Each structure stands twice: as structure tokens, then as C-alpha cells.
């Protein structure tokens, strides 16, 4: 995680000194619809999740530097909401601050109309609930979300005019999102029967408005 923050610091240095890098730097606001597919390894998902999908959103600020070569770099600070739909129909919401860092390549198709592709790492910091427990007789199901995770982004979009970008992004976890455990209580003794990683992948459809 320390290495991830070092990368963020280095990229911020590049972004904040366009005179050195000969880049055009702009700020904007972003919003996106977030469709998440959750999975728990080595178990039947239908028995541990009411539904393996969850629809959320992302919103926040963006800083982008666009170089004359067609390359670009972008860093964002976004509030993200996703979650797990659990067997008792409760929802363990994952409220997070995410920091995606993407390298971009622009292709000019016409005046004020560019196609771009991008990819890069993303850091997620969980700022909401991190655990939920379901009691079912002598059985205990526990869902725990990690406080920080790293994932990867890949996507594409179009720049329409000087201010509006629309994009589609695919995100997949490099680290486990958290863990699921099943325990059994017998004569006041709790025995953990198994612990399995929670993972997810998601699709974002959104837009960025640059000033």
C-alpha cells in the first residue's frame, strides 16, 4: 500500500507542473453508474448472497493532463457506493473513497471529437461498514470487508467538444475485497468451518465535465 501512495505522489507531481511537462491540465467533475458483480470463492454463491449483483454510483473530482503527443494522465478522487446483498436480504454497503490513476491515449477523429483508451491502478479506502454477522441457529455467517484494496481499470470513451467526456470502464480486483466465514457453536465453543475470499468486478458508465 505504501508503494501505491508513492506512485500517487509521483503522478500528482507530474500533473501539477504542466509547465515542466508541456501538458494542458484541466479539472472536472465526474459521475458514473456502477454495476457490481460479487463472488465468494469455493462456495455456492446462491447460499451466501441473496443476489450477486449490486447497482451503485461514483461521484467526485478529476485532474487530467493532456500532452501534445496524444498521451495523457488522469487522477481522480471519488466517493463510491457498492455493496453485498446478503441472504437475510440485508445490504452490507461499501462506502469508499477511490483514487483511480489512469494513463490515457487520445486519437483525434474530428474537430472537437476525440476517442481515447486508458488503463491503470485504483486504490480503494473503505469509509463505511466493514462487517456483518448473520446468526442462524448454531451457525454464524460473517462477512468482513478489507479497509483498503487495490484493483485495475481498463476503459474507453469519447471527448465531445471542449468540456464533455463520456466513458465505459471495467474494474477488477487485484486483492480480495474481504472474506466470508462460516462458524458453528457447540457447547459454548465456536468452531470456524471455513473462510473464503470475497471478490468483485464492476462496470462503470459515466461522464466527466471539464471546466
Grid cell 480503494 is found at 124
Are 37 and 23 spatial neighbours (Cβ–Cβ below 8 Å)?
Answer: no
What is the predicted pLDDT for the residue at 19? 43
Are 106 and 114 spatial neighbours (Cβ–Cβ below 8 Å)?
Answer: yes
At residue 16's C-alpha, the angle toward residues 168 and 23, to 5°, is: 70
Are 188 and 146 spatial neighbours (Cβ–Cβ below 8 Å)?
Answer: no
- Three cell numbers at 110? 474530428
CA dist., res. 112 & res. 148, Å (int): 39
Are 165 and 210 spatial neighbours (Cβ–Cβ below 8 Å)?
Answer: yes
What is the predicted pLDDT for the residue at 9? 57
Q: Is the pTM of this model over 0.95?
A: no
Residue extents of the structural domains in the chain: 2-40+52-128+148-175+201-210
Are 78 and 101 spatial neighbours (Cβ–Cβ below 8 Å)?
Answer: no
What is the predicted pLDDT for the residue at 145? 95
**Neighbouring residues of 120: CB distance < 8 A, sequence distance ≥ 6:** 100, 101, 102, 103, 152, 153
**Neighbouring residues of 156: CB distance < 8 A, sequence distance ≥ 6:** 115, 116, 117, 118, 167, 168
Nearest to 70 by CA among 29, 100, 111, 103: 103
Under-50 pLDDT residues of the chain = 18-20
Beta strand spans in the chain (E): 23-40, 53-67, 71-85, 91-110, 113-126, 131-136, 139-145, 148-160, 164-173, 178-186, 189-210
Nearest to 149 by CA among 176, 186, 179: 176
Q: What CATH class is the domain 2-40+52-128+148-175+201-210?
A: mainly beta
- Three cell numbers at 61? 473530482
Amino acid at each position: 500500500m505504501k508503494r501505491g501512495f508513492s506512485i500517487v505522489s509521483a503522478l500528482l507531481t507530474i500533473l501539477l507542473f504542466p509547465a515542466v511537462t508541456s501538458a494542458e491540465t484541466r479539472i472536472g467533475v465526474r459521475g458514473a453508474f456502477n454495476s457490481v458483480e460479487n463472488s465468494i470463492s469455493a462456495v455456492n454463491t446462491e447460499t451466501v448472497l441473496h443476489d450477486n449483483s449490486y447497482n451503485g454510483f461514483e461521484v467526485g473530482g478529476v485532474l487530467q493532463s493532456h500532452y501534445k503527443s496524444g498521451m495523457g494522465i488522469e487522477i481522480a478522487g471519488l466517493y463510491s457506493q457498492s455493496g453485498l446483498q446478503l441472504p437475510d436480504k440485508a445490504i452490507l454497503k461499501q462506502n469508499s473513497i477511490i483514487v483511480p490513476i489512469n494513463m490515457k491515449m487520445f486519437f483525434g477523429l474530428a474537430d472537437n471529437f476525440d476517442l481515447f483508451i486508458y488503463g491503470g491502478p485504483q486504490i480503494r479506502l473503505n469509509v463505511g461498514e466493514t462487517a456483518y454477522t448473520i446468526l442462524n441457529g448454531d451457525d454464524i455467517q460473517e462477512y468482513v470487508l478489507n479497509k483498503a484494496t487495490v484493483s485495475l481499470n481498463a476503459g474507453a470513451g469519447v471527448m465531445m467538444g471542449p468540456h464533455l467526456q463520456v466513458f465505459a470502464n471495467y474494474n477488477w480486483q487485484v486483492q480480495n475485497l474481504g472474506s466470508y466465514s462460516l462458524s458453528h457453536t457447540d457447547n459454548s465453543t465456536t468452531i470456524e468451518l471455513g473462510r473464503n475470499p470475497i471478490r468483485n468486478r464492476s462496470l462503470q458508465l459515466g461522464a466527466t465535465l471539464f471546466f
